Structure 1
């Protein structure tokens, strides 16, 4: 078994050097600028309740020129891993099996698995159906590394203290400008950390949200500098909200999160009125890329947001 693994690694390197092709874990060439690009930005513990009173000019500009709802409903429990996984997999915890805030693997046999023995998610779906796609996965909370198969993204990296440390956003910006990824996920953790330490719906929480808004502006500018802005769709959302210094409860302040779509082919200044759930995010991204959705998914594309 060890010889086979070693041979596989050597084969990958040789093919890359000789044929200029790549294996899944090797960074690919820059994406076609004319293709559709998706930047999915997630803010941990960003409750929809916070939007009206927050100083978030970048996010407000995207809302004003995009489609949005402040009633995107998280799955239960309204914790991190169950909702991030649902967002990525188009299904709820009863299907994918991630049932606690720090789940590292399914707590029971998932309803379905793909060729990687992983519940089918949007990252694997894009890799399988459009194998030449450049996929990036940047995250700040270490628990997120268990939610995506490691061999799928071209770039999968923990960026420590991303929402506290400006160079973190700048590093991601440099990657975007160079690689022009077809699909990039960026997960901020600062709102959750502040909610637990200082409290949700507090001055400290709103200050952190405003800071992250500035980092989103850095990411947006990088997309412009990469020359792919006119063909990019930004999606901003969250896993859950929060009350006091916790989360995971049943209140709407804990369960309702924003969902904002902005960019090519998206309605402008439009408030989504239909029911939206966290697992609809994966289905919406699949719709953007023209992917065939697995039968096991229960999510539906937010068609209302498109022109």
Structure 2
């Protein structure tokens, strides 16, 4: 009888197991995928070629950094998460819907979650007890920050330098890493400018450094990597609802990912990233999620 019961439960146990042990989400702020394909970015391009990718994913409208990243990390559109501002306003508090970090912690408290960013406004996404590490050029405790830091901007090389040793030591199960340089260069010099092309190169190097840390941690073979962006850009902006601004890359690489696969899903949105990350870690997804799992990208 025990054997029969075990055999009956076996399919359920298989479904309940996480599809990967570690999920790393990298966001390249302002990454227009058309410009990316012209840039010197060997690491991004290698992962795209070896794994599953599309250069035709979509962000939300308006295509702004904080609202878009909120959708990326909550799985819902702006009509649900309500963050329609794009600067750090402490008085507005934190996002009012769960994030992938809070959902993961609620379901699996022993898992380690971390967020490394180049813009302090990501604090609006830090729900209490949802992150083991919030790092913006240094580790923060939960609570107010000095007014002098409300415009803080940390370049990709420094973000990677903060993330790498933490990953080696803590081996987080869910980790988000944000590189701001492409967006910063775009606003100052223009999208596809020589300065922005250099920023692509710098961010690609930062990605390579973090991947090396994942390998040193001994978890590369049990990790799934997602590369994406919050928005694209044109001229010196990205707010208009045009293709240059709303189209983003989406790349999956690593454990469980199809090899050399071009994703054909016609409506891949930034909030699908959240749904996919939760699915990979076998964390239950809220029924009101706008995001869908990008199952096509996985074996």
1:238 to 229, 232, 252: 229
User: Deviation of residue 51 (structure 1)?
Assistant: 2.2
For 1:270, the equivalent position in structure 2 comes to 261
**Take 2:126 and 2:297, find their aligned partners in 1: how far apart are those partners?**
26
Q: 1:168 to 1:100 in 2, by over 3 A?
A: closer
In structure 1, runs of 5+ residues without a counterpart are: 1-33, 108-115
1:48 to 30, 33, 37: 33
For 1:128, the equivalent position in structure 2 comes to 106
**Take 1:283 and 1:269, find their aligned partners in 2: how far apart are those partners?**
22
Q: Does 1:223 align with 2:214?
A: yes
For 1:298, the equivalent position in structure 2 comes to 290
Q: Does 1:144 align with 2:129?
A: no
Quote the RMSD (CA, aligned, Å).
Answer: 2.1
**Kept in 1: contact 2:159–2:178 (CA 8 A):** no
Structure 2 counterparts to residues 38-117 of structure 1, below 5 A: 38-102=23-87, 104=89
User: Deviation of residue 248 (structure 1)?
Assistant: 1.1
Give the TM-score taking structure 2 as reference length: 0.84
* Secondary structure of residue in 1 paired with 2:205: helix
Q: 1:196 to 1:221 in 2, by over 3 A?
A: same
**Take 2:90 and 2:263, find their aligned partners in 1: how far apart are those partners?**
34
**Kept in 1: contact 2:75–2:290 (CA 8 A):** yes
Give the TM-score taking structure 1 as reference length: 0.82
For 1:5, the equivalent position in structure 2 comes to none
Q: Provide, for residues 19-67 of structure 1, a one-character-per-residue CA deviation record: whole Å limited to 9, x for no partner.
A: xxxxxxxxxxxxxxx9610111111111112122111111111011110
**Take 1:35 and 1:279, find their aligned partners in 2: how far apart are those partners?**
20
**Take 1:167 and 1:194, find their aligned partners in 2: how far apart are those partners?**
16
Dislocated runs of 4+, deviation >4 Å: 103-107
**Kept in 2: contact 1:77–1:100 (CA 8 A):** no
